[in-house]
Structure 1
């Protein structure tokens, strides 16, 4: 904070306090302005230069005159040698079309002795081709039978169960439209005007919108089974983001609604990602969505998860990525880029924890737990000592103060990942899972109705879980839309769950 440009009378404490408060507010505004300018024009990555990654040996050394990294804790980066890589081979499962190329007959004689040349082999080079989407009409011909004697008892073959009875849409068309919107981020109006129209078909956006709502209703039995499996997981990651619904009862068109995501830690390879629409961000939403859950619940620091965290059997877990981000923001908001300051010190401790995790990410849970107990807990102990010393020294409203107080308030939840080997340091699984919805939202902007928002949640749940299970989304949706209307038992429906399908 800059000093007052003019001397203040030392006999007026109220004036001195008032001027100092103005200067403090000005310093806070400048700090936030620097952070906003960095977000607008600077690099968005949290990476910093190598000399900012030093982990100081002790908390008492948080501001040494000549900082040196601890020899036992320094990170050595091997010299990188750029290697020229060849072109990746094309996938073996793609169909091959053989096109043969021969030399002319008059060239099939040896230029040396004149004798006829004989084929001794071939050289094969591959090119990738694509066949544009083709559109066709399926004619369902149902034979009719009648009696020539009494002319009664006419019987007509039944039409197989359809995803949308009475509609012109086949499972393939519905899967194409749903994949284009929920995977490729193409709004329905673009599909209407730029894709379907180019193929010579006039289908109004209102019609395709209704189709998506009906598809969302159709897959509800699958969503119910997926939720039952989700609640059996030992660890669930949760996150939420805003969405907009134009025609929502009791709310203005521009008001915020929310899309919630829950990701189950895989059990028996059952990867589950569920989206749910809700008109609010209140704590009652996760209470309802996770009713009956017992296990670890990993979230960010949003207070809306506090209520479910107090339920018997639910253990709240924090997110180190959010803690790290706040220290990174404090660095970006600094006027003096002092690499030995507290912001860098806090970030260095957190990076050391991530370095340990990086070394054991492929290890089994028992090994991860052992390493965390032996290596991570001592680093956490040093970080706690440094945090206790730093808290009284930093104003809480500064960016660094917010980082320190977030770390302090979330401490018990943050260190919980050391309890079990299957736990994670951060909530990135949920943040990564919700990103496709955020990207799609930039294109289609809003849902017209709550029914549309709920349908989108169901369809996002299916395509994202299918992707997590290694399935091609369009092929999977076509299978679901074709087979689900014909399912006659719970076993038939279970067979359509993503982890029960084989990749093609």
Structure 2
């Protein structure tokens, strides 16, 4: 009797065994071998794909490490370079604050890439400044951290043999609080086992501030526009010593922690079919040249009628069209924007539709009407006012009702305005202000009338212009951004706090809670912390 095929070990198969087998057994064996070869081939392909993925991840991390290392080296070169002597006192103070922010931000990113939980000893300054003891008059809230079960695995009760006490500084607006963490040590004398609750992760590792104090520093800086030197003076009135360099480093660490949430907010904003876009200049300090140059903050907000509002800002070194192209990626939909030429190339990509801003056209007539320079301008203002009156009446309607009202009431007025403008243009002389105002409206006519074709599109771009006002206020307090990294960090914080405001949240309460939860929150559930989905931790 021949050996059953299923009992044959393919690794020890001998040619003589094949000769002794019946043809049917050989065929079955061959089928088995082909199946195993196919399985091995599929496994090999999976291994190759996994290896390629790991290689891409390593290349990405290496590139990011190289970039961060370069940024740190350049930061040190600027910090100690002779050219910084050209800066005046205000510029030097701003640069030092920004340098502290950037260094903390880059170090946090570097540690995250290296997968380290604490700062390596090699990176710790040889002579770290001695930390001042927290004032005794501050209210202290004691938190005790003990194991839920103090019975050893051997069955014997464990004995408390000591404790570690650490203090972290927190703030309730207008009041500093010291959280006193007492982590009891429990030991089993039988097993010589020591049990102690681990230290919870913090935004500033081994630092004094809680998430609440980091959030307060960020809100004071980017919402209330209080420079660090003034925050230092305010804190000193409570007997708390917080040098502006320390505040800047806290803000840098906070910005690094908020980066994943900012990226999730960006994805959410770009999921909208209707967007508003605008840009505003911000002075950027160039320490290498000892002066400032012009940079820009670009803003992108979900449509004015979107039931879930959100805005995201992006800091860019210039105003070229490539910046919004890079930021929007493959987004497609209707973009409400002004007549800036930089949007031209952007709108030609990915089936994007342009919607103009009637407020821009109106302002050109308004300037002439207020100056009494043209009776035509006053008439144009009146005709445009009729359209805005209809918009006010349908502002709370749904998209379908709004579109229906526009078609029945606004379209006839719009067509009359078009005929009237063309007739007036033939009667006014070239080169005058009223001719320029009419030419602007006629040239942008299709884009300006886009709101008549889509109930989700607004009549103007005032929605995003209102969301730009905090930057205008900030410019007066900041004077300029200290670096591109500082500018983008400001854009991240402003994106989150302004979106929180749009959703009815208090900025400090929101930032405090998400900074506390981000360090242990699963990355695949990061959307739960976005302003429109956020619920305070119980």
Paired residues, what number?
Answer: 366
**Which residue in 2 is equivalent to 1:226?**
265
Higher helix share: 2
Equivalent-residue separation in structure 1 for 2:410 and 2:271 (angstroms): 29
Q: Counterpart in 2 of 1:184?
A: 224
Is 1:359 the equivalent of 2:387?
A: no
Q: What corresponds to 2:21 in structure 1? A: none
Which shows bigger deviation, 455-464 or 217-226? 217-226
What corresponds to 1:394 in structure 2?
428
Distance 2:415 2:310 in 1: 35
SS at 1:135's partner residue? strand
Match of 2:183 in 1: 142
Query: Quick one: distance in 2 between partners of 1:167 and 1:267?
Result: 44
Q: For 1:294, which of 332, 336, 340 is the aligned residue?
A: 332
For each residue in 1:174-212, what CA deviation from the matched residue of structure 2 results, as whole angstroms up to 9, or x when unmatched?
11122222222222221111x111111121112212222
Task: Report whether the alignment pairs 1:172 with 2:212.
Answer: yes
CA distance in 2, matches of 1:484, 1:301: 40
- 1:196–1:202 CA contact under 8 A, matched in 2: yes
Superposition deviation, residue 503 in structure 1: 7.4
**1:264-296 Cα deviation digits (max 9, x unpaired):** 127984321111100101111111111121110
**1:54-99 CA distance string (max 9 Å, x none):** xxxxxxxxxxxxxxxxxxxxxxxxxxxxxxxxxxxxxxxxxxxxxx
RMSD: 2.3
Describe the superposition over 1:318-369 as per-residue Cα deviations: whole angstroms up to 9, x where unpaired: 001111111011223445xx6xx21112212211111111221122211111
- For 1:272 and 1:370, how far apart are their aligned partners in 2? 27
Could you tell me which residue of structure 2 aligns to residue 422 of structure 1?
456
1:149-298 aligned within 5 A: 156-193=196-233, 195-247=234-286, 253-265=291-303, 269-298=307-336
Whole-angstrom CA distance in 1 between matches of 2:464 and 2:231: 29
Name the structure where strand makes up a greater proportion of residues. Answer: 2
* Match of residue 529 from structure 2: 496
Q: Give the Cα separation in 2 of the matches to 1:154 and 1:449.
A: 48
Question: Larger deviation: 395-404 or 322-331?
Answer: 395-404
Q: Is the 2:304–2:463 contact (alpha carbons within 8 Å) kept by the matching residues of 1?
A: no
Structure 1: how far apart are the matches of 2:198 and 2:351? Answer: 51
Q: What corresponds to 1:58 in structure 2?
A: none
- Where 2:225 maps in the other structure, the secondary structure is coil
Identify the structure with bigger relative contact order (alpha carbons < 8 Å, sequence gap 6+): 1
> In structure 2, how many angstroms separate the alpha carbons of the residues matched to 1:132 and 1:486?
26
> Conserved in 2, the CA contact under 8 Å of 1:188 and 1:208?
yes
Larger mean CA deviation between 311-320 and 184-193 belongs to 184-193
8 Å CA contact 1:145–1:156 kept in 2: the answer is yes
CA–CA separation in structure 2 for the residues paired with 1:161 and 1:234: 39
CA distance in 2, matches of 1:271, 1:300: 21
**3-state SS of paired residue (2:505):** coil
Q: Which of 498, 505, 508 is the equivalent residue of 1:471?
A: 505
Give the conservation status (yes or no) of the 8 Å contact 1:317–1:414. Answer: yes
- Please name the residue that 1:315 is paired with: 353
Question: With structure 2 as the length reference, what TM-score do the two structures score?
Answer: 0.64
Alpha-carbon distance between aligned partners in 2 of 1:149 and 1:503, rounded to the nearest angstrom: 44
1:117 corresponds to:
none
CA separation in 2, counterparts of 1:410 and 1:267? 23
- In the alignment, the residues of structure 2 paired with residue 132 and residue 220 of structure 1 have an alpha-carbon distance, to the nearest angstrom, of 25
Cα pair distance change 1:165/1:247, threshold 3 Å: farther
Cα distance in structure 1, aligned partners of 2:365 and 2:419: 17
Aligned runs of 1:313-352 on 2, under 5 Å? 313-335=351-373, 341-352=375-386
* Residue range with higher mean Cα deviation, 135-144 or 211-220: 135-144
